[in-house]
Chain A
Amino acid sequence: MSLLVSFAHIAVLVIMIIAAFLAVMFKDLLPAVIALAVVSLLLSLEFYLLHAPDVAIAEAGIGAALTMAIYIFAIRATRK
C-alpha cells in the first residue's frame, strides 16, 4: 500500500515536470495554456495524495479553472 502511494507520488511529479516543460516549449499559445492547466490539476492531485483535500479543492478551482479562463481571454485579445 505504501509502495503504491509512493509510486503514485513519483508518477504525478514526473508528469507534472513533463507538462511544465511542454508549457514552455509549445509555440502555439492555447496548447501551452492547456499544459499549464494540466500542471495545476496534477498539483491538486498531489495535494489530495498528501491528505490535504481542502487545498486540493481550492487549487483545482482557482488554478485549473479560473486562471485558465483569464489566460484564454488574454489570448483572444492578441493577434498572431
Chain B
Amino acid sequence: MKNEMSRIVRTVTTLIYGFIIVYGFYVIAHGHLTPGGGFQGGAIAASAFALLVVTYGDQGVKDFLKKDILSLVESTGLVLFIAFAFFGLGVTFFYNFMANSGGLFGNSAIIGINPGDLNTGGTIPIMNIAVGLEVLAALGVIILTMSAGSKNTKKKENS
C-alpha cells in the first residue's frame, strides 16, 4: 500500500496549499470587518494541512507539521485569549480596554457605508488571532493523530 497519492494530486497540492493558508490568515485578520473570524479562518488553514497530510502521508510532512509545535501553538492561543480577557478586569472580565484608545487597533469605527478600517476593534482582532491559532493548531493535531491511528489500524489488520 502506497501512502502517497498520484503525481497530479501532488503537483496541485504543492501549487495551492500556500494560497489556502494565506486565505485562512486573511479571514482571521479581517474577522472584525468581514464574515468569518478566528474559528472559520483556522478551519480553512487546517484544511490546507489536511490536504498536505492526505497527499503526502504523515511521514512526508514530518518536517513541516510537528505535533509538539502545534500543541505549543494551541496552548499559546488559549493563554493569549484568557490573558486579554483578564487584562480588562479593571472594569469587567472581557472589557475591551483597547477600543478607541488611539494605539494598536485603537481607531474609532467610522459610521456609515465605508470599506472598513483594519485598525479598529480593540481587543477583538487580538482575540480573533488567538482563537485562529488555537483552532488551526488543534485541528492540525487532530488530523495528524487520525492519520497515525489509521496507520496503526492497517498494520494490525494486515498482521
Contacts and interface: CB of A to CB of B under 8 A. Distances in A.
Contact of B47 (A65, A77, A78): A65
B35 A73 contact: no
Contacts of B44: 57, 61
Contacts, number: 65
A54 B47 contact: no
Interface in A16-65: 53-54, 56-58, 61-62, 65
Contact of B157 (A53, A57, A69, A77): A77
Nearest to B2: A76
A46 to B, nearest CB: 16
B147 interface: yes
Interface residues of A, number: 18
Name, among A74, A77, A78, the residue most crowded by chain B CB atoms within 10 Å (CB to CB): A77
A73 B151 CA distance: 8
A76 B1 contact: yes
A70 interface: yes
B54 interface: yes
B147 A73 contact: yes
Nearest to B3: A76
Nearest to A69: B50
A58 B35 contact: no
B7 interface: no
A57 B35 contact: yes
B40 A61 contact: yes
A14 interface: no
B156 to A, nearest CB: 9
B150 to A, nearest CB: 4
Nearest to B53: A69
A57 B43 CA distance: 9
A10 to B, nearest CB: 25
